[in-house]
């Protein structure tokens, strides 16, 4: 799926979920034939406010989208010129990369042209409303088109900032309870649910979900895969410790803390992870012989560790032991590629264990319960007072703030 396709799908799903309900309430009072009784009805129904939003979105499309279209057209022409000068068989891998970039540019251009058409359509409907000739259903259509356009442009501008080597890949989200105990495991489950809700609200399709259970029957770690493009770049700032701060029941003046570790690793969509690992450097548990005698609570869960660095990865979502071993090894390679780049290490055997621990233990976000109910994002400095909303998946301010701060 190309960038433009995933962007448009996300924009439409988000627009439908966030805005259609409010519009339906206002439009429900329209007469059965879909027509209003003039300016007074518009004021009563709040349609003047919607009309203003449509006009604002149209202006934005006419300015921002036009500039973006010019930029993407230039990029498309450039990619075509590169292909014309190249023999595709000389370097198949490079040719595939160029063809993929051209396909992305073409799709983005097509969607930007579609945005301009929708903006013109919404503008016309908005103008008709001034003549009391507007149909209620058409007005709803214009409003939804304007919302789609704004959402698309928001994501287009954000995704243009994601220029890292793995930013375009999908994402594997891993949430782990840092300490043993039911409370810590319940907090990890809550954090995992936050990302599940975020993905659903944004219209992303969550793929494989895996859960590793502790002896108490609660989640020790949970993993989800989102195959949409640019997911790794979007979510990479979520990596780190997510700390829950709460008051002790015995003494409300003493704060307690629990942590869940969040790992975000790239999920390579159309190419394998290219990284050689020596067999002597890999430790697998359980071993094939021990697996048959092991605890089956977690099915055929397999854990692999890169001994020199101490980095580990798990998989439990496949049906066989060996399939999970392959998946866990692939995740391990993705982790090592990422860590080596972050630590600027050319040989993975020289990765320092302590440096890896320090990276994993960096604070990402604090969630304060009790009377204060505050969420503080340590990467961006953003603070939100609606704790419940954040835990229900409303983390876009943190994500957008993090992506923007990466460019400063």
Q: Closest by alpha carbon to 305, among 274, 336, 276, 275? A: 336
pLDDT (0 to 100) of residue 253: 61
CA 302 distance to own-chain centroid: 26
For CA atoms 383, 20, 112, 196, the dihedral sign is: positive
Q: Are 336 and 314 in contact (CB under 8 A)?
A: no
pLDDT (0 to 100) of residue 404: 85
Q: Closest by alpha carbon to 370, among 254, 262, 260? A: 254
| DSSP character string of 126-167 | HHHHTTT--BHHHHHHHHHHHHHHHHHHHHHHHHTT--STTT
What is the rounded distance in angstroms from the CA atom of residue 323 to the CA atom of residue 330?
Answer: 11
Residue 3 scores a pLDDT above 90 = no
Residue 220 scores a pLDDT above 80 = yes
pLDDT (0 to 100) of residue 97: 65
What is the rounded distance in angstroms from the CA atom of residue 90 to the CA atom of residue 81?
Answer: 17
Give the tokens for residue 330: 């692939």
What is the rounded distance in angstroms from the CA atom of residue 36 to the CA atom of residue 41?
Answer: 6
What is the rounded distance in angstroms from the CA atom of residue 292 to the CA atom of residue 370?
Answer: 47
Instruction: Please calculate the CA angle 142-143-145 and round it to the nearest 5 degrees.
Output: 65
Residue 288 scores a pLDDT above 80 = no
Beta pairing partners, 175: 222, 262
Beta pairing partners, 257: 245
Residue 383 scores a pLDDT above 90 = yes
Kind plus residue range of the DSSP H or E element containing 2: none
At 385, is the pLDDT very low, low, confident or very high (cuts 50, 70, 90)?
very high
* Contacts (Cβ under 8 Å, ≥6 apart) of 204: 10, 226, 228, 231
Q: 188 vs 77, 171, 174, 195, 384, CA distance in Å?
A: 48, 18, 10, 11, 20
Q: Helix (H, G, I), strand (E, B), or coil: what is residue 65?
A: helix
| Mean pLDDT of the region 183-194 | 94
Residue 39 scores a pLDDT above 50 = no
What is the rounded distance in angstroms from the CA atom of residue 81 to the CA atom of residue 75?
Answer: 10
CA 345 distance to own-chain centroid: 27
What is the rounded distance in angstroms from the CA atom of residue 213 to the CA atom of residue 331?
Answer: 20
Taking only the tens place, the pLDDT of each residue in 295-313 is 554 567 899 999 999 999 9
pLDDT (0 to 100) of residue 376: 96
pLDDT (0 to 100) of residue 19: 34
Q: Are 203 and 226 in contact (CB under 8 A)?
A: no
Q: Closest by alpha carbon to 363, among 260, 266, 220, 265? A: 260
pTM above 0.85, yes or no: no
Lowest mean pLDDT among 86-100, 170-184, 388-402: 86-100
What is the rounded distance in angstroms from the CA atom of residue 369 to the CA atom of residue 244?
Answer: 7
Lowest mean pLDDT among 79-93, 104-118, 203-217: 79-93
Q: Are 168 and 262 in contact (CB under 8 A)?
A: no
Which structural domains are found in the chain, ordered by start?
Answer: 3-159 (no CATH), 170-406 (3.30.70.1660)
Q: Closest by alpha carbon to 151, among 45, 9, 319, 276? A: 9
């Amino acid at each position: 799926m190309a960038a433009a396709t995933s962007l448009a799908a996300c924009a439409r799903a988000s627009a439908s979920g966030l805005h259609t309900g409010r519009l339906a309430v206002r439009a429900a009072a329209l007469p059965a034939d879909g027509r209003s009784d003039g300016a007074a009805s518009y004021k009563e129904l709040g349609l003047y406010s919607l009309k203003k939003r449509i006009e604002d979105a149209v202006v934005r499309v006419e300015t921002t989208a036009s500039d973006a279209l010019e930029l993407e057209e230039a990029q498309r022409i450039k990619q075509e010129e590169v292909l014309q000068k190249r023999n595709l068989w000389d370097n198949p891998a490079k040719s595939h990369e160029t063809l993929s970039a051209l396909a992305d540019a073409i799709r983005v251009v097509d969607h930007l042209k579609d945005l301009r058409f929708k903006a013109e359509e919404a503008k016309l409907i908005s103008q008709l409303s001034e003549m009391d000739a507007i149909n209620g259903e058409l007005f709803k259509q214009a409003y939804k088109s304007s919302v789609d356009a704004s959402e698309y442009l928001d994501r287009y501008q954000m995704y243009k900032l994601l220029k890292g080597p793995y930013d375009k890949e999908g994402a594997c989200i891993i949430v782990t309870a840092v300490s043993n105990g039911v409370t810590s495991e319940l907090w990890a489950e809550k954090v995992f649910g936050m990302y599940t809700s975020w993905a659903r609200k944004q219209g992303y399709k969550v793929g494989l979900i895996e859960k590793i259970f502790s002896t108490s029957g609660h989640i020790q770690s949970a993993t989800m895969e989102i195959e949409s493009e640019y997911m790794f770049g979007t979510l990479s700032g979520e990596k780190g410790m997510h700390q829950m701060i709460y008051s002790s029941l015995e003494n409300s003046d003493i704060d307690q803390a629990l942590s869940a570790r969040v790992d975000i690793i790239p999920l390579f969509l159309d190419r394998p992870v290219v990284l050689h690992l020596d067999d002597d450097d890999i430790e697998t548990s359980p071993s094939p012989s021990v697996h048959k005698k092991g605890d089956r609570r977690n099915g055929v869960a397999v854990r692999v560790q890169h001994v020199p660095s101490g980095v580990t990865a798990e998989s439990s979502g496949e049906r066989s032991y060996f399939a999970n071993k392959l998946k866990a090894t692939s995740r391990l390679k993705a982790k090592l590629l990422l860590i080596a780049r972050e630590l600027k290490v050319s040989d993975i055997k020289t990765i320092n264990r302590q440096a890896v621990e320090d990276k994993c233990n960096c604070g990402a976000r604090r969630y304060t319960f009790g009377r204060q109910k505050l969420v503080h994002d340590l990467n961006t400095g953003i603070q939100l007072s609606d704790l419940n909303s954040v835990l229900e998946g409303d983390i876009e301010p943190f994500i957008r703030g993090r992506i923007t701060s990466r460019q400063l």
